[in-house]
Amino acid sequence: MEKTKKSTDHHNPGSSGAAAAAAADRKSADLSCEIKSYVGIRKKIRRMCRENPLAAVSAAVIVVMILMAVFAPLIAPYQEAEQDLMARLQGPSAAHIFGTDELGRDVFTRILYGARVSLMVGIIPSAITLVIGIFFGLLAGFHGGWVDYVIMRFVDVMLSFPTLLLCMVMMYVLGRYADSVLCIILSLSLINWAGTARVVRAQTLSLKETEYVEAARSIGVKRIRIMLRHILPNCIPSLIVLYTLSVPSSILSESTLSFLGIGVQPPAASWGLMVNQSKQFLFTMPWLALAPSLSIMLVVLAFNFLGDGLRDALDPYLESR
Amino acid sequence: MKSVMKRLIGMIPVFIGVMLLIFVLLRVVPGDPVQVLLGEHYSQDTIDRLTKAMNLDKPVFEQFLLYLSGVFHGDLGMSYVMKKPVTSLIMEALPQTVILALMASTFAWFVGIGSGIIAAIKQNKAPDHIFMGFSLAGISVPVFMSALFLQYVFSFKLKLLPLSSDGSLKSLILPAIALGWNSAGSVARLTRSNLVDALQADYIDTAKAKGLTNRAVIFGHALRNSMLPVITLMAIQLSSMMSGAVVTESIFAIPGVGRLATNAIQTRDMPLLQGTVLLTTVMVIFGSLLADILYSVIDPRIRREA
Amino acid sequence: MKKRTGLMILTACLTALMSVSAFASDGDEKVLRLGWGKDIQTMDVHKTTDNYAVPLNIFDRLLEVQLNEDGSTEIVNSIAKEYSVSDDGLTYSFTLRDDVKFCDGTPLTSADVEATFTRMFTLPESVQTDFTTCIKGAQDILDGKTDKLEGIHVIDDYNFEIVLEEPFAGFLSVLATPTCCIMSKANLETAGDDFGVVPEKTIGSGPYMVTEWKTNDSLTLVRNPEYWGEPASAATVVYKVYPEPASMNMAFQNGDIDILDCDFIDAAIVQSVYETAYADQIVMANRLGTYMIILNADVEPLSDVRVRKALQMAINRQGILDQIYGGNGVLVDGIYPAGSIGFSEENQGWLAYDPEGAKALLAEAGYENGFDLEIAVNTSASANMNNMLQIFEQNLKEIGVNASMVNYDEAEYLKIRKNGTLPCFAAVWTLDYNDPSNIIDTFFGSVESTHGRSLNYADTSIMERVIKARAITDETERMAEYAAVEKKIVEEDAAWIPLYSLQHRFVISDKIEHFTPHWAGYGDFSCNNVTMK
């Protein structure tokens, strides 16, 4: 049975690691009789797009958001931190389609630049998490014995820690060596890998016992090769799903940190920070908070729908949540 | 019982690991509790005097051992900043947190399981989309947004409920909804997809063939079999809510464990932070134990395996 | 089983919903409700330098500062009914009122005064030693040579003398600060470490006493039945902690708070909501404090006085004052807060916003291509402060300085500042006692203080003058010396960028008849100054 963490307020759809791990544990018996091949992934995704329009639309939304973030300097009508003190707190107009904030900065421009930070903070830590998780998961699952014991106890430690508190402490520790966005990326990466490690370990354990791997072993194939060539590829579908679901959770984590004032450093923009800066105006000047909140919602929903779609399409064994 | 004991003993290394990690991290964090205490006025003399009075001049490892031996004697130390025993501070904050967590979970489970079931039965029809849309919105909206929104509408505009906590159950309704809505989304998703799977299983066809009503099939067979992972999730959610919900507590001015912990980080109040982390760890361990026990109640096969 | 528990909880919620809480306050039992941004850490004034709300209400001082209609302040008697100062300015003789009792009924006597001042120096955790080390023998206690305070002579129960090491004109003002709250000797001895923590073990003679303190939640004061003066208007005072400013704002408009401290609320909200809909409920207090941006002279290239002067000219102070603070304040060009004793009109008006001039100065100093500069930000600073720094950053970019803001959380910020390495940051000082020595000693009194405040001001001859000025007995001469030193430090040496003195605004609810804020414009005040309808 698994333990998992979830102490930030927002529900962590991505730390589904544990629930997924439970599923993987339970389904391991079925898994062992079938070795899936990862070559069919592209085909399955194509089928998903046909059969699940919601997931396809979500994917499109994500792509558009990423493009907007990448080309922010070209699209944005103003500079990221360009202030106009004479035009503070204006409502939406032709000059500022989402209005201006307290320092007279264009909200639309900041949404675009904020997308860079928010998406980066979603996408990169989830990837790093995956690498760390795969490394420890494979090692623990394949080696077994004391290595497994030590790694899994460490995973337990990480999982029983209140995430938000750990994140705050990490932000303070790392704060002196890197800028705030990098800090968030590193903190989230160093904290969230434990769930992935669990899933990978569970799958490794069951795959290890398959005749296929046994055979490879008996003919003297090197361990590392077995891990990388035979076991890892079979984990890929679940990992894709895990990844897609952990992106929105990281985005929400960033927004919570920024809301608490320890996330992204002004004058840089992130959606969470923009909500934080405009929360007092929520009801007198709603446009200020509306744009960033809706952006967060949209992206998080899109990733969630895409994740659901991918799970249905790729991985019947990773139980949905 | 035996397996429970075994599990508890197995958690001791995890426990010490958590303590060690927080201890080490707190020594690496820049900033000094003495400075926080002193604020604007200070001289080097004062700093030296305070550092000594707070045992901070001892080697880190000695401090850790001193702390551990205290913990095993049931003494969590004194808060540097609040100057009160950590145990009493936590006991003061815990009731609010526990009530909030229970209320939020109840909301999450009713809404989550309810909309999950409806969505599964009416798969791909309007009720599916409406209920799942509502639940998923809970996952996608940052908690501070939903909390501020609920506070504005129900307390400020409609004046139906208190704006901030006054210790009454009534004042915890809004925070419980804000917090619970978040969890409801995941519960609903998991319930729906498991139930959809279960409804497609062979034994459902058998049951239907035997002439059972639709309702009996769903509640008698399918739901029971699809609830196991949901229960895991719910136990996890409950135990994590017990460890405090910083944002909700701040917005609704609830003096709970989450705020105690964040204040402790900000003021580098090590004994207090260690105490709250300890509590959280215990909660998480008990959460998973609880899930185990519920599992074996619902599915007797698991008991045998264990 | 689960379902039944759920039902029970639901029922409980509904019951709670229906039962209307009986919170009626009849005519005589007026409740004053106040909001705090965060909880206090202690009620023991010797252990805190900013949680003054409770000490101001539950203790008395020997003297008080009275705020006159015209905004001037004067020292008035409180529990000391008369005093005299010897000709050499060293010996202060006091006579106590004989009707002052602590809330446990015991009388307040000279022995309590002696115990209080002794504890200030002997208590290991004491942080209130800065202003009072001028008392004879205080330094010896701090050095651990003795535990008896030489400078206090108890004559009888109601008469005593305080002797200073050297003359200090501001000493009477010091006695009126929260630092010098008089505690009960017997209470201090019996309560031990519980003093300031446990309400019933924290006993004072002030208008109120503490009955309940719930951590991170609320603190309740009730009238002290033994109080010697006029009973306070509100029978009960409840402080409630609202960590989220947006919620505090709604709570006031909802009628849950009676006096709202606008420092907690974003200035733009104050302008858009309170200055219109609540215009006649706003109470202004002159805050005897100044804001400044400190330029650390040990950090390249701030070590060059021309660079510091260029930065002084680069910042659009009037723009910030008007836009961020709605014009509620005045620019100051020196060290002393506008309206305080020592504020020199002659030292005003020399500093103008002049980005072109700033660029020219930078070029002269060899930085025509600008330089990198870190602006340190305390994460617990208010939204207003943060906005101000963002404008400052932009102003610096306009003269070609590549400024960037770096966040530090408070614990770390204070530590770095103490180490003398914080490069460029905003600071604010509100007077503890109305005398120029309070602010100038703190920042420029010694090498240690300029280093500990990350100023690293280099001119030690100025520090000597600052310390010597304390003992000048002729008041006009003393003020002239303070003004001269101010001119040298800020105008000639550009040690910091002076900003402004702000008004401190409060909004009162319709339950408040009259409210006089603290004389120095603190957020904390004595609730004795609030009259309820």
Nearest-Cα distance to chain A for C246, in Å, is 5
CB contact under 8 A, B265 and A169: yes
- Beta-strand ranges (E) seen in chain B are none
pLDDT tens by residue, A52-96:
788 889 999 999 999 999 999 999 888 887 888 777 888 888 888
Nearest-Cα distance to chain C for B129, in Å, is 26
Please compute the mean of the pLDDT values over residues C364-388 and round it to a whole number: 90
pLDDT value at residue B207:
75
Please compute the mean of the pLDDT values over residues C459-484 and round it to a whole number: 91
CB contact under 8 A, C323 and A265: no
| Largest CA-CA distance found in chain C, in angstroms, rounded | 84
> What is chain C's Cα-based Rg?
25
With 80 as the cut, is the pLDDT of residue C498 above it?
yes
Residues of A in contact with C394 (CB under 8 A): 81, 83, 267
- Which of A7, A175, A279 lies closest to B148 in CB terms? A279
Rounded Cα distance, C268 and A88, in Å: 10
pLDDT value at residue B241:
81
With 90 as the cut, is the pLDDT of residue B70 above it?
no
Strand partners, C378: C408
Dig out the tokens for C467 from the structure: 């310390």
pLDDT value at residue B41:
57
pLDDT tens by residue, C141-166:
888 888 889 999 999 999 999 999 98
CB contact under 8 A, A83 and C391: yes
Please compute the mean of the pLDDT values over residues B246-263 and round it to a whole number: 91
Q: From B184, which residue of chain A is nearest by alpha-carbon distance?
A: A11
pLDDT tens by residue, C424-437:
999 999 998 989 99
pLDDT value at residue A315:
59
| Interior angle at CA B43, CA B41 and CA B45, nearest 5 | 140
Per-residue pLDDT band at B39 (split at 50, 70, 90): low
pLDDT value at residue B217:
75
Nearest-Cα distance to chain B for A58, in Å, is 14
pLDDT tens by residue, A154-183:
888 888 887 888 888 888 888 777 788 899
With 60 as the cut, is the pLDDT of residue A21 above it?
no
CB contact under 8 A, B14 and A160: yes
Which of the pair, B69 or C243, is modelled with greater confidence?
C243
Nearest-Cα distance to chain A for B169, in Å, is 20
Which of the pair, C400 or A156, is modelled with greater confidence?
C400
Question: pTM score > 0.90 for this model?
Answer: no
With 90 as the cut, is the pLDDT of residue C63 above it?
yes
SS3 of A254-294: the string is HHHHHHCCCCCCCCCCCHHHHHHHHHHHCCCCHHHHHHHHH
- Which of B13, B149, B261 lies closest to A162 in CB terms? B261
pLDDT value at residue C310:
95
When scoring A2, A5, A7 by the number of chain B Cβ atoms within 10 A, the one with the most, hence best to mutate, is: A7
Using the Cβ of B102 and the Cβ atoms of chain C, whether some distance falls under 8 Å is answered with yes
Please compute the mean of the pLDDT values over residues C165-173 and round it to a whole number: 88
Per-residue pLDDT band at C18 (split at 50, 70, 90): very low
Using the Cβ of B14 and the Cβ atoms of chain A, whether some distance falls under 8 Å is answered with yes
With 60 as the cut, is the pLDDT of residue A25 above it?
no
Listing DSSP states for C476-496 in one string gives: HHHHHHHHHHHIIIIIIS--E
Dig out the tokens for C483 from the structure: 């003004």
Per-residue pLDDT band at B141 (split at 50, 70, 90): confident
Model ipTM value: 0.85
Which chains have 3+ CB pairs within 8 A of B? A, C
Q: From A171, which residue of chain B is nearest by alpha-carbon distance?
A: B29
Q: Are strands C208-214 and C218-223 parallel, antiparallel or unpaired?
A: antiparallel
pLDDT value at residue A214:
82
Q: Is C232 helix (H, G, I), strand (E, B) or coil?
A: coil
Please compute the mean of the pLDDT values over residues B89-114 and round it to a whole number: 91
With 80 as the cut, is the pLDDT of residue C2 above it?
no
CA distances (Å), origin C507, targets C34, C40, C271: 11, 22, 12
Per-residue pLDDT band at B244 (split at 50, 70, 90): low
CB contact under 8 A, B281 and A161: yes
Euclidean distance between the first and final Cα of chain B, in Å? 11
Dig out the tokens for C317 from the structure: 């102070």
Nearest-Cα distance to chain B for A123, in Å, is 16
Which of the pair, A32 or C339, is modelled with greater confidence?
C339
Q: Write down all domains in chain C, each with its CATH number in brackets.
A: 1-59+192-258+509-533 (3.40.190.10), 61-99+109-181 (3.90.76.10), 289-503 (3.10.105.10)
CB contact under 8 A, B36 and C411: yes
Mean pLDDT over the full length of chain C: 89
When scoring B83, B90, B97, B161 by the number of chain C Cβ atoms within 10 A, the one with the most, hence best to mutate, is: B83
Please compute the mean of the pLDDT values over residues C478-482 and round it to a whole number: 94
Using the Cβ of B133 and the Cβ atoms of chain A, whether some distance falls under 8 Å is answered with no
Rounded Cα distance, C222 and C505, in Å: 26
Rounded Cα distance, B123 and B207, in Å: 20
* Residue at token pair 């329009």: A53
Using the Cβ of C349 and the Cβ atoms of chain B, whether some distance falls under 8 Å is answered with no
pLDDT value at residue B167:
83
Residues of B in contact with A23 (CB under 8 A): 229
With 50 as the cut, is the pLDDT of residue A196 above it?
yes
Nearest-Cα distance to chain B for A166, in Å, is 8
* Lowest mean pLDDT segment, chosen from A94-108, B134-148, C7-21: C7-21
Using the Cβ of B166 and the Cβ atoms of chain C, whether some distance falls under 8 Å is answered with yes
With 70 as the cut, is the pLDDT of residue C279 above it?
yes
pLDDT tens by residue, A230-271:
888 888 877 887 888 789 889 988 888 888 878 888 788 889
Which of the pair, B290 or C298, is modelled with greater confidence?
C298
Please compute the mean of the pLDDT values over residues A107-129 and round it to a whole number: 92
Single-letter code of the amino acid located at C16: A
CB contact under 8 A, C409 and B252: no
pLDDT tens by residue, B179-216:
999 888 888 888 888 888 777 777 777 777 777 777 77
> What is chain B's Cα-based Rg?
24
Cis peptide bond N-terminal to A266, omega within 30: no
Helix, strand, coil percentages (3-state) for chain B, rounded to 5, are 80, 0, 20
pLDDT tens by residue, B255-302:
999 999 888 888 888 889 888 888 888 887 777 777 777 777 776 655
Please compute the mean of the pLDDT values over residues C249-278 and round it to a whole number: 90
Please compute the mean of the pLDDT values over residues B77-97 and round it to a whole number: 88
Q: Is C373 helix (H, G, I), strand (E, B) or coil?
A: strand
Mean pLDDT over the full length of chain B: 82
Using the Cβ of B262 and the Cβ atoms of chain C, whether some distance falls under 8 Å is answered with no
Q: Write down all domains in chain B, each with its CATH number in brackets.
A: 2-72 (no CATH), 93-305 (1.10.3720.10)
Helix, strand, coil percentages (3-state) for chain C, rounded to 5, are 35, 25, 40
DSSP state of C457: -
Please compute the mean of the pLDDT values over residues C327-338 and round it to a whole number: 93
Please compute the mean of the pLDDT values over residues C518-527 and round it to a whole number: 91
pLDDT value at residue A312:
75
pLDDT value at residue A125:
93
Rounded Cα distance, C55 and A293, in Å: 43
Which of the pair, A59 or A26, is modelled with greater confidence?
A59
SS3 of A14-81: the string is HHHHHHHHHHHHHHHHHHHCCCCCHHHHHHHHHHHHHHCHHHHHHHHHHHHHHHHHHCHHHHCCCCCC
Single-letter code of the amino acid located at B77: G
Dig out the tokens for B306 from the structure: 């264990």
pLDDT tens by residue, B207-230:
777 777 777 777 777 777 777 778
pLDDT value at residue B299:
65
Q: Are C257 and C33 in contact (CB under 8 A)?
A: yes
pLDDT tens by residue, B102-118:
999 999 989 999 998 88
Using the Cβ of B95 and the Cβ atoms of chain A, whether some distance falls under 8 Å is answered with no
- Which of C323, C405, C412 lies closest to A85 in CB terms? C323
| Largest CA-CA distance found in chain B, in angstroms, rounded | 86
Using the Cβ of A24 and the Cβ atoms of chain B, whether some distance falls under 8 Å is answered with no
How many interface pairs between B and C have CB atoms less than 8 angstroms apart? 160
Q: Are A216 and A142 in contact (CB under 8 A)?
A: no
Percent of chain B with pLDDT over 90: 18
CB contact under 8 A, B255 and C254: no
